[in-house]
Amino acid sequence: MNRKKNTFAQWWWKILCIVLLLFTFIKGLTVKIPNLPALEETSRNLFFHVGMWMAMMTLFTVSVVNSIRYLRTFNLKYDIYARQYSVMGIIFGLLGYATGAIWMSYTWADPNNPLFQSFGALAREPKLIGAAVALLIYFAYLVLRDSISDMDKRARISSVYNIFAYAMLFPSIWIVPRLLPSLHPGQEGNPAMNFNDVIPEMRMVEFPAFVGWALLGVWITTLKIRLSLVKEKRMNA
């Protein structure tokens, strides 16, 4: 009986992840979409592009929590957790960046020269610049951590830096870009994220998609953590 309970506790959220992502792909490609100027059918990317960012924020949040747990307990396993969640957060951040760039090429770019115009818009878009800055800060976290050979010193320094990196997420992604003129959906003149423009049918797909992508990120990270702990044991054996 206890074994069945343990098995269920280990797998229920993974099953939920699979169900939510299947729902996202199937319903996301068939749900009714409002015919907004410029966006049109590309609004379906909301379930994927924004979902990647939500997963990234979830993973970075879990990462910084584990860094704080390390600083409180000095248990090295929490430093390993923090690193792996940061790595997966960066991966989802890059996926969010890529899906956003593709979306941009269909909505902001000049149809006669979309590649050139996309790079021009990229260079001027504060939200994309802010996202790039945030990801570079986390790349620096990985470089810093891997450049220190002493395990205890590495864990302490990287944990403190991880807290700094997480604090920089909010001004670089959520605060500063909103103070500057932007073509990004959600800003004035291009309202994809406005509740008045995203119909209830889309919300029914949007929120399950956010949870599904976040669970997928956590699932992959737990597998990477298990591999890291096995390697750590072999090195210390």
Model confidence pLDDT, tens digit, residues 120-155 = 555 567 778 888 899 999 999 999 998 998 999 999
Specify the residue for token string 């015919």: 35
Model confidence pLDDT, tens digit, residues 12-55 = 999 999 999 999 999 988 888 877 776 777 788 889 988 999 99
The radius of gyration of the chain's CA atoms, rounded to the nearest angstrom, is 20
Contact 58, 211 (CB under 8 A): no
The residues with which 187 forms a beta bridge, in sequence order, are: 185, 190
Q: Could you give the number of structural domains in the chain?
A: 1
3-state secondary structure of 147: coil
Instruction: Give the predicted TM-score (pTM) of the model.
Output: 0.85
Maximal C-alpha separation, the chain: 65
Does residue 21 fall inside a structural domain? no
Does residue 69 fall inside a structural domain? yes
Q: Token pair of 164, please?
A: 């700094």
Does residue 37 fall inside a structural domain? no
Identify the burial level of 143 via C-beta atoms within 10 angstroms of its C-beta, where 0-12 means exposed, 13-18 middle and 19 or more buried: exposed
**Structural domain harbouring 71:** 49-236
Does residue 26 fall inside a structural domain? no
- Rounded CA-CA distance 114/125 in Å is 16
Does residue 1 fall inside a structural domain? no
Does residue 30 fall inside a structural domain? no
Q: What is the DSSP string of 36-60?
A: -TTTGGGGGGIIIIIHHHHHHHHHH
- For residue 83, the model assigns a pLDDT of 95
Does residue 23 fall inside a structural domain? no
- Rounded CA-CA distance 228/222 in Å is 10
**Ramachandran bin of 74, using left for φ above 0, alpha for ψ from -120 to 50, beta for the remaining angles:** left
Model confidence pLDDT, tens digit, residues 177-235 = 777 666 666 555 444 455 555 677 888 888 999 999 999 999 999 999 999 888 877 66
- For residue 189, the model assigns a pLDDT of 43
- For residue 233, the model assigns a pLDDT of 72
- Rounded CA-CA distance 122/104 in Å is 9
Does residue 31 fall inside a structural domain? no
CA dihedral 93, 96, 97, 100 (to 10 degrees): -160
- Rounded CA-CA distance 208/187 in Å is 24
Contacts for 123-127: CB closer than 8 Å, 24+ residues apart: 125/182, 125/183, 125/184, 126/176, 126/177, 126/180, 126/181, 126/182, 126/184, 127/173, 127/177, 127/182, 127/184
Residue bearing the bigger pLDDT, 181 or 101: 101
